[in-house]
Structure 1
Amino acid sequence: MEYDLIVVGAGHAGVEAILIAEKFNLKVLLITGDFDKIASMPCNPSIGGPAKGIVVREIDALGGVMGRVADATALQVKMLNSSRGPAVQSLRIQSDKIEYSKMMKKIIFDNKKINKVEGIVEKLIIKNNECQGVQLNNKIKYFSKKVILTLGTYMSSLTFQGSSKKSEGPDGAKTSSGISEQFKDIGLEMFRLKTGTPPRILKSSINFKKAKEELGDDKKLSFSYMTEKFIPINQQVSCWLIHSNNKTHKVVSDNLNKSGIYNKTFEGIGPRYCPSFEDKIVRFSEMPRHQIFLEPESKHLETIYLQGFSTSMPKDIQEKMVRSLPGLEDAQFSKYAYAIEYEAINPLQMNHDLSSKKIKNLYTAGQINGTSGYEEAACQGLIAGINACLSIKKQPPLILGRDEAYIGVLIDDLVLKGTDEPYRLLTSRAEYRLLLRNDNAEDRLKKYAIKYKLISKEEIEKFNNQIILEKQLFDFLKKTKVNLNSEFFEKINKTHNFKLKEGTTLFNLLKRPDFNSDLINDYFDFYKNIDFRIKNHVLIEIKFEGYINKEKENALKNKKLEKNIIPKNLDYNLVDSMASEAKEKLNKIQPKTVGMASRISGINPSDIQMLLFYLRKINKLR
């Protein structure tokens, strides 16, 4: 059986890869171990968060599905960092994990153009370092022009609870070692990573009176611009906040030798930015308490997820830890916490289109590339799917710049800097984060979705109308004046700390950081009737115009280095006066441009200068 493209795995990366690939009118096949675990949430029951929420907006702008499904299955919607600047504001949705997976499965199965097989891939069919398909553990073979691996944490995975160790994936799923062993034989560099998940507690056993209620937002917020049905505040569920205490910390400290991290059971490296609870106690010993959020998992479940309380302690110690927390003194466990260790590929062995440097026609996406999180996985699946299809059609790949998308930042970081721990996307990783905001994902990326025909005519029409409305709103604000004798003028002087002494335009008023823009709704019907999302976007563009333009200038300057192409397989040992470490890294990674070379960890400006001198010397510099 032959296909254009095979996607292995149906987690958050796999579903985006197969659904975007189908839009290219190719013959595609999805292979996954368990149809009932399509897009499952084995860890936190949420989508979005700092930086991650913007990634989901970008996925939606490019034609992906994560945002729409998250919107449709939301339990709570909240804009994080709303009191801070727009560069760090990001949407987070508390998801119904059952409904989310169920809806994704329905989308996959309703699409008759997608061929589906339930089975475990034992190995890839590779000849002369060229991937030609896959072989299942029942020896059935499927051939294809391209293969995308989205194996998540299922490669040679082990789960841990104290001294107990099992060969399994998340939630007891089957694991496979065939592909990781095959990669090692080929010479791919692999490494082991670790992550974990906290306990799930029965809601009925928790005294919520001892916790602080965390509500959602009473606004029309969504990941997808196509979403038109919003969950009202009175239908949103609450999350809850508690803190650990001295008793909790003592239980952990007294039993550190029973944790897989500290009794050296683990080989893998855990995530720095989402450590296990025992790791927090050791690394931040000066902290008297730590935040723990109580989050509902589904309207179909009576379980509460303890966000911030992952652990690999044995079950009896977990019980003591949890029951030391306020409101959880009588906690009943639905599921105990566990840690999981798995194989990943050193991402320095990938190209920017997520293809393998070593194995032709092979693409990888998600946690197999050393990342953490559903959102990081989904965006890689989307890009791998697009680029595998473009390659089949003999078209250039889609490579997003660091000034275009957080997706571009993530992939660029992986390919040029690598990682030695589960990579998590943070706003601090983006040097142009004021350009990569939650509100402007469509403006940045919709052009690619239109170019590659990844969205419907309805979506294109809505986007074009959005652009028209944005322009009309800008024009309205610039032309509409606030007169000295108007009621609006008097209202401003009464309700604000500043006093207007002369007439001005609404545009100039909005430039003031101390002006309450909501006041315009009361006096101007045109402004009041504009969609909240469009108003928010235009307001940010006006208030931060100077800063935004400055970042655009900086991005343009740095792009000049991207035009300086480096010859393929350049021997950097020939570059005079370059540091030995720089030569070693550049020879290994083989960046395609001087701009890429400048972003590799350990490469100094002086090394780049020597490289530029050398390229001029051999007449290879534009």
Structure 2
Amino acid sequence: MFQEEYDVIVVGAGHAGSEAAAAAANLGSKTLLVTMSLQNIAQMSCNPAMGGIAKGQIVREIDALGGYSGIISDRTAIQFKMLNKSKGPAMWSPRVQSDRMRFAEEWRLMLEGTPNLDFYQEMVQGLIIVDGVVKGVRTSLGIEIKAKSVVLTNGTFLNGLIHVGDKQFGGGRAGEGAAHGITEDLIKAGFESGRMKTGTPPRVDGRSLDFSKMNEEKGDAKPDKFSYSDATTALVHQRSCHMTYTSLEVHDILREGFDRSPMFNGRIQSLGPRYCPSIEDKINRFADKERHQLFIEPEGWKTCEVYVNGFSTSLPADIQFKAMRSVVGFEKVQFFRPGYAIEYDYFPPTQLKHTLETKLVEGLYFAGQINGTTGYEEAASQGLMAGINAHLKINQKEPLILKRDEAYIGVLIDDLITKGTEEPYRMFTSRAEYRTLLRQDNADFRLTPMSFEIGLASEQRLRRMEHKLKESEKLVSFFRESSVTMAEANPILESKNTALITQGDKMFKIFSRPQINLEDILKLEKVQAYIQENDVDQEILEQSEIQVKYSGYIEKERNNADKLKRLEDVKIPEDFDYYKIKSMSIEAKQKLTKVRPITISQASRISGVSPSDISVLLIYMGR
């Protein structure tokens, strides 16, 4: 069946595997994507959404590098929101609610239209490794498929075990079997493995809910999109989400099932995601809270299936149902299926190089949840980088390694490789010490030239980015060089309750004021004339606004980074009490107290201790 040797074999067709296969194939490698189910390519196993805090930046970066996630998210979106707009642009994060069925369909169609890419449906049961070099894979039917490199993106399928109350059964996700054999082969090759846990909430029938009792959550009035390309357009029509709350009554019902909860009776011993805890974990850890938010998310344009975000659970099905019927708006709820937890094998990512190639076996790459991460976006970005670097290596080219000041993807991979992780790793803006530089709006400036250089991003993409950059710089120069009179500026300043000018001043200086926004500056006739004459679009206007208003913050961030580097070897007293620092995160206090680092440098490498935590520690120590 497989006479030829492939350049790249990708095992698993989730978000990581799909991006890996697309990247390697688009770069010119003969690629095979092997999956247990071709019907479930890029399946959204958990919530039907892409993006979010820091995750939206990653999707933009994937798109800027030539990946597919941004395009597919745009084409299958049912709602768009730019989160954190009340904060500075370093925190702005795009997010779309997706049509789950169309998302997977669009991924499959795009992959089938990708040259150099073959598909095969079967379980990969083992690896062919000769003298420390991967040579291919072995399937459950005993078929050996040869390859120059292999990318493992197994998600939650490696020896996956699903828990619902006191019931447990093997599986990679609901309705699909677990994968066996790969973990055992890797352990024989000398790899260290571990177990992690994740979970998902019940899916319910939207026809049985009373949305009139809930808060409606609409999308943005002027929705944006993920992709920088012309391949997609912004949404015209959107579907609303809704929000409701748990209650003390709901919590009491949930506690009735704690004795049968695999999380509390010892059946599950592995760690779950800290930042997306199950509902039973939330009411146990935050016993003082009388309620918790639940976001009611439609699964698509036409389906009545609804995702209950915030109610992830592995409690017995009867307890789940009873508790949910006590939630406002859920009094007559009907289940499509109960929530569940799943345990699976992962491999501590300190066993990888920055290219995501393993240190023990040449030509073998890991991406996604096999590395201990959680989230579609984190997985997709790793898959993209693994696919790129597998292709570059077999063609004797320099690898593509993104630095921490170049991309969130660089932060993600560096964190995994240097710090490792003992709990499912999720990206946050606080993990990036250069987050003002790594905004969602400038990912194409940062990454498209790199991608074009290796042959992934198209010339059309590059030219579009160069035009945007040139026009943005021209507009910023216009603001720097153009003056406004008192008569032009003061009416605007007075309307914003900010100090009036007593003589003409540069437009850049006026625009830099925090009270003045883009809408205000567009009231000036000079600005309107420039826009019309130069045909400036909204994207360039918004980019220029950020460059004008936050240039000082960017410079300050660079200076702070330099200072932090000089203080890396500051000693920490052995008996230092981290809990007396009020402005440090709870997670940082826990981790620092447990590890007891000797130096600031060691402290900065602990997973869960953010750059801002280190800055607070330095300030407290008088440095």
Do they fold alike, i.e. is TM over 0.5?
yes
User: Any idea what SS the aligned residue of 1:326 has?
Assistant: coil
Residue 347 (structure 2) aligned to one of 336, 345, 348: 345
Give the fraction of aligned pairs with identical amino acids, expressed as a percent: 42
Which residue does 2:571 correspond to in 1? Answer: none
Residue 134 (structure 1) aligned to one of 127, 134, 137: 137
Which residue does 1:160 correspond to in 2? Answer: 163
CA-to-aligned-CA distance 1:189-238 (integer Å, 9 cap, x gap): 111100010011111111111110111112241111114754446x1000
Which residue does 1:614 correspond to in 2? Answer: none
Gaps (5+ residues) in structure 1? Answer: 563-578, 580-593, 605-622
User: Any idea what SS the aligned residue of 2:553 has?
Assistant: helix
Distance 1:516 1:10 in 2: 44
Does residue 9 (structure 1) correspond to residue 12 (structure 2)? The answer is: yes
Residue 180 (structure 1) aligned to one of 155, 179, 183: 183
Deviation at 1:533, TM superposition (A): 2.4
Distance 1:77 1:162 in 2: 36
Deviation at 1:112, TM superposition (A): 3.8
Does residue 226 (structure 1) correspond to residue 229 (structure 2)? The answer is: yes
User: Any idea what SS the aligned residue of 2:343 has?
Assistant: strand
Which residue does 1:355 correspond to in 2? Answer: 357
Q: Measured at CA, do residues 20 and 137 of structure 1 come closer, stay the same or move farther in structure 2, by a change above 3 Å?
A: same
Q: Give 1:141-152 correspondences, 5 Å limit.
A: 141-152=144-155
- Checking the alignment, whether the CA contact within 8 Å between 1:220 and 1:532 is kept in structure 2 is no
Distance 1:128 1:424 in 2: 35
Does residue 45 (structure 1) correspond to residue 43 (structure 2)? The answer is: no
Which residue does 2:580 correspond to in 1? Answer: none
Q: Which amino acid aligns with 1:548?
A: I
- Checking the alignment, whether the CA contact within 8 Å between 2:239 and 2:301 is kept in structure 1 is no
Distance 1:595 1:252 in 2: 43
Q: Measured at CA, do residues 596 and 69 of structure 1 come closer, stay the same or move farther in structure 2, by a change above 3 Å?
A: farther
**How many pairs does the alignment contain?**
571
Q: Measured at CA, do residues 61 and 141 of structure 1 come closer, stay the same or move farther in structure 2, by a change above 3 Å?
A: same
Which residue does 1:611 correspond to in 2? Answer: none
- Checking the alignment, whether the CA contact within 8 Å between 2:209 and 2:330 is kept in structure 1 is yes
CA-to-aligned-CA distance 1:144-200 (integer Å, 9 cap, x gap): 111100111110001111111111111221211200111122221111100010011
- Checking the alignment, whether the CA contact within 8 Å between 1:200 and 1:335 is kept in structure 2 is yes
- Checking the alignment, whether the CA contact within 8 Å between 1:71 and 1:227 is kept in structure 2 is no
Does residue 548 (structure 1) correspond to residue 534 (structure 2)? The answer is: no
- Checking the alignment, whether the CA contact within 8 Å between 2:452 and 2:459 is kept in structure 1 is no
CA-to-aligned-CA distance 1:35-59 (integer Å, 9 cap, x gap): 1111110101000000101011111
Q: Which amino acid aligns with 1:518?
A: E
Which residue does 1:77 correspond to in 2? Answer: 80
- Checking the alignment, whether the CA contact within 8 Å between 1:98 and 1:300 is kept in structure 2 is no
CA-to-aligned-CA distance 1:11-56 (integer Å, 9 cap, x gap): 1001111111112212111111111111110101000000101011
Does residue 600 (structure 1) correspond to residue 600 (structure 2)? The answer is: no
Distance 2:565 2:442 in 1: 21
Does residue 510 (structure 1) correspond to residue 534 (structure 2)? The answer is: no
Please report the TM-score for the alignment, with normalisation by the length of structure 2.
0.88
Deviation at 1:559, TM superposition (A): 7.8
- Checking the alignment, whether the CA contact within 8 Å between 1:188 and 1:358 is kept in structure 2 is yes
User: Any idea what SS the aligned residue of 1:498 has?
Assistant: coil
Which residue does 1:537 correspond to in 2? Answer: 543
Q: Measured at CA, do residues 394 and 595 of structure 1 come closer, stay the same or move farther in structure 2, by a change above 3 Å?
A: farther
Distance 1:7 1:472 in 2: 44
CA-to-aligned-CA distance 1:419-440 (integer Å, 9 cap, x gap): 1111111111111111111111
User: Any idea what SS the aligned residue of 1:111 has?
Assistant: coil
- Checking the alignment, whether the CA contact within 8 Å between 1:200 and 1:304 is kept in structure 2 is yes
Q: Give 1:418-457 correspondences, 5 Å limit.
A: 418-457=420-459
CA-to-aligned-CA distance 1:228-264 (integer Å, 9 cap, x gap): 754446x100011111101111011222111110011
Deviation at 1:395, TM superposition (A): 1.6
- Checking the alignment, whether the CA contact within 8 Å between 1:259 and 1:312 is kept in structure 2 is yes
Distance 2:564 2:531 in 1: 38
- Checking the alignment, whether the CA contact within 8 Å between 1:403 and 1:555 is kept in structure 2 is no
Q: Measured at CA, do residues 11 and 232 of structure 1 come closer, stay the same or move farther in structure 2, by a change above 3 Å?
A: closer
User: Any idea what SS the aligned residue of 2:471 has?
Assistant: helix
Which residue does 1:252 correspond to in 2? Answer: 254
Does residue 206 (structure 1) correspond to residue 221 (structure 2)? The answer is: no
Deviation at 1:489, TM superposition (A): 4.5
Q: Measured at CA, do residues 560 and 226 of structure 1 come closer, stay the same or move farther in structure 2, by a change above 3 Å?
A: farther
Which residue does 2:389 correspond to in 1? Answer: 387
Which residue does 2:195 correspond to in 1? Answer: 192
- Checking the alignment, whether the CA contact within 8 Å between 2:26 and 2:116 is kept in structure 1 is no
Q: Measured at CA, do residues 61 and 556 of structure 1 come closer, stay the same or move farther in structure 2, by a change above 3 Å?
A: farther
Distance 1:333 1:2 in 2: 47
Deviation at 1:498, TM superposition (A): 2.8
CA-to-aligned-CA distance 1:92-124 (integer Å, 9 cap, x gap): 100111111100000111224211111110100
Distance 2:294 2:476 in 1: 43
Deviation at 1:600, TM superposition (A): 3.5
Q: Which amino acid aligns with 2:374?
A: S
CA RMSD of aligned residues (A): 2.2
User: Any idea what SS the aligned residue of 1:547 has?
Assistant: helix
Distance 1:516 1:386 in 2: 40
User: Any idea what SS the aligned residue of 1:171 has?
Assistant: coil
Q: Which amino acid aligns with 1:214?
A: E
Distance 1:377 1:293 in 2: 23
Gaps (5+ residues) in structure 2? Answer: 569-573, 575-598, 610-623
Which residue does 1:120 correspond to in 2? Answer: 123
Q: Give 1:220-619 correspondences, 5 Å limit.
A: 220-227=223-230, 229-232=232-235, 235-486=237-488, 489-522=490-523, 523=525, 524-525=527-528, 526-527=530-531, 530-555=536-561, 600-601=605-606
- Checking the alignment, whether the CA contact within 8 Å between 1:193 and 1:422 is kept in structure 2 is yes
Distance 1:414 1:81 in 2: 26
User: Any idea what SS the aligned residue of 1:172 has?
Assistant: coil
Distance 1:400 1:232 in 2: 32
User: Any idea what SS the aligned residue of 2:522 has?
Assistant: helix
User: Any idea what SS the aligned residue of 2:174 has?
Assistant: helix
Deviates more, 1:434-443 or 1:152-161: 434-443
Q: Which amino acid aligns with 1:407?
A: I
Distance 2:559 2:290 in 1: 45
